[in-house]
Amino acid sequence: MERLIIEGGVRLEGTVDISGAKNAALPIMAASILAPGVNRIHNVPSLRDITTMGRLLTHLGIDFMHDNGTVVLDSDNLQTVEAPYELVKTMRASVLVLGPLLARMGRARVSLPGGCAIGARPIDLHIMGLQKMGAEIELSEGYINARAERLRGATIYLDIPTVTGTENLMMAATLAEGVTIIENAACEPEVQDLANALVSMGARIEGAGTSIIRINGVDSLNPLDYRVIPDRIEAGTFIAAAGITGGEVEIRGCRVDHLESVIAKLREAGIHIEHKPGRLKVKGPERLNAVDVRTMPYPGFPTDMQAQFMALMAVSDGTSLITEGIFENRFMHVAEMRRLGADIIVEGATATVRGVRMLKGAPVMATDLRASASLVLAGLVAEGRTVIDRLYHIDRGYERIEEKLRGLGARVRRER
């Protein structure tokens, strides 16, 4: 199994380019199901999750190619409507094919994702929304079997502003008969990016990026040619990396407007961040300040930055309270960070982090995608050697991470 070996204590310096957003690319790839023809998506990062979605689309009969940042999907010959367990279990976002399959083919059979390391993560709201649009849905043998001659527009209120749920329903509604209104929709930039991609295919969507999205169904859509937004979580992680090492890094190709809550919190922690068009100049302090944070739906502080923020707080001056407001079990990195000498106690949804002067390198294990990023940050500042096992988690969401870090001077290598 691959491991990442970090010799800590280097101040990062230089320039790093941000890749395309995985969480925007995945639903946009699923949107290729909606229109027969050759779909092109640009700025798609080379990541395990993208390969998994490619395999799933290939399984459905779509030709998939990923070369030099561009994904080409030929969806002329859809052959099956089944997303099998073997693929869905490795990536929950596979459920994003449910809405588009049902809308284009009138049928879908998608495995239930099952449990997940960071909480139960049900998909009841995806199902409820599709039922409101007239789908007949039956759960059997671990599969969602959905059927609808043609979906009908409906008003759907989401109890929780689920990101992939909003995306699934928005895609389904593009080909439905009549108007669909999604209330309490997720406002994440990735939802907005998907809406922009769908509009470029001929969909009629208003309000994406706000909590009320209105979709006027159309009879058919054209194939895609679209460039995905930069990854705000990767950008946030590199700001944190500069901050935690007291370094000086320029972050290129990011969307500052998607990073406002992250920038606000990292500034409070003492990191100096200067805006320039399309890039940020970041300078870490001698010692970070302890700051409390609570994760929330966008535009609140993202849950996908919680673990990385905790690494910063682990070496800050004071005590910080970190509250997880989205997922019930997203503190798996705490036990690993403690192995590096962090002083963290978890009670319910809140972690109390007492900053220590110094972390010390140790062998640790990545438990999920963002947890692994937090261990990389901790390893960059820890004294001595940190070895991160189960590296495949990080390869799901960070493109060429060790190469990018090495470009900033970090002593990092991958061992196979």
Residue 26 lies near ligand UD1 (rule: CB under 6 A): yes
> Going by C-beta distance under 8 Å and a sequence separation of 6 or more, which residues neighbour residue 198?
31, 34, 170, 171, 174, 205, 221
From 71-79, 163-171, 223-231, 279-287, give the range in contact with ligand UD1 by CB under 6 A.
163-171
Least Cβ distance, residue 205 to ligand UD1 (angstroms): 18
Q: How many angstroms separate the CA atoms of 154 and 152, rounded?
A: 6
Residue 327 lies near ligand UD1 (rule: CB under 6 A): yes
For ligand UD1, which residue of 4, 19, 23, 196 counts as binding (CB under 6 A)?
Answer: 23
Residue 345 lies near ligand UD1 (rule: CB under 6 A): no
Q: How many angstroms separate the CA atoms of 100 and 108, rounded?
A: 9
From 80-88, 156-164, 170-178, 250-258, give the range in contact with ligand UD1 by CB under 6 A.
156-164
Nearest to 400 by CA among 47, 22, 68: 47
Residue 162 lies near ligand UD1 (rule: CB under 6 A): yes
Nearest to 201 by CA among 32, 42, 23, 25: 32
For ligand UD1, which residue of 44, 81, 123, 241 counts as binding (CB under 6 A)?
Answer: 123
Q: How many residues bind ligand UD1 (CB under 6 A)?
A: 23
Nearest to 129 by CA among 160, 100, 97, 168: 168
Considering only residues 83 through 122, tell me which ones interact with ligand UD1, judged by CB under 6 A: 92-93, 119-122
Rounded to 10°, the helix 189-200/22-31 angle is 30
The active-site residue, picked from 38, 78, 116, 117, is 116
DSSP three-state, residue 149: coil
Q: Which is closer to ligand UD1, CB of 57 or CB of 412?
A: 57
Q: Per-residue x/- mask for ligand UD1, residues 176 to 215, rule CB under 6 A? A: ----------x---x-------------------------
Q: Which is closer to ligand UD1, CB of 6 or CB of 98?
A: 98
Residue 304 lies near ligand UD1 (rule: CB under 6 A): yes
For ligand UD1, which residue of 326, 337, 378, 412 counts as binding (CB under 6 A)?
Answer: 326
For ligand UD1, which residue of 6, 18, 163, 314 counts as binding (CB under 6 A)?
Answer: 163
> Hey, what's the torsion of the CAs at 269, 270, 272, 277, to 10 degrees?
20
Taking the mean position of all CA atoms in its chain, how far away is CA 284? 25
Q: How many angstroms separate the CA atoms of 77 and 72, rounded?
A: 14
Q: Outline where 212-303 has alpha helix (H).
A: 232-244, 260-268
Q: Tell me the residue type at 412.
A: V
Residue 308 lies near ligand UD1 (rule: CB under 6 A): no
H-run or E-run covering 282: strand 279-283
Q: How many angstroms separate the CA atoms of 201 and 34, rounded?
A: 9
Q: Which is closer to ligand UD1, CB of 48 or CB of 121?
A: 121
Q: Is 254 a catalytic residue?
A: no
Residue 164 lies near ligand UD1 (rule: CB under 6 A): yes
- Report whether 193 contacts 228 (CB < 8 A): yes
Q: Which is closer to ligand UD1, CB of 6 or CB of 375?
A: 375
Nearest to 5 by CA among 391, 392, 407: 391
Considering only residues 31 through 90, tell me which ones interact with ligand UD1, judged by CB under 6 A: none
Active-site residue set: 116
Footprint on this chain of ligand UD1 (rule: CB under 6 A): 23, 26, 92-93, 119-126, 160, 162-165, 186, 190, 303-304, 326-327
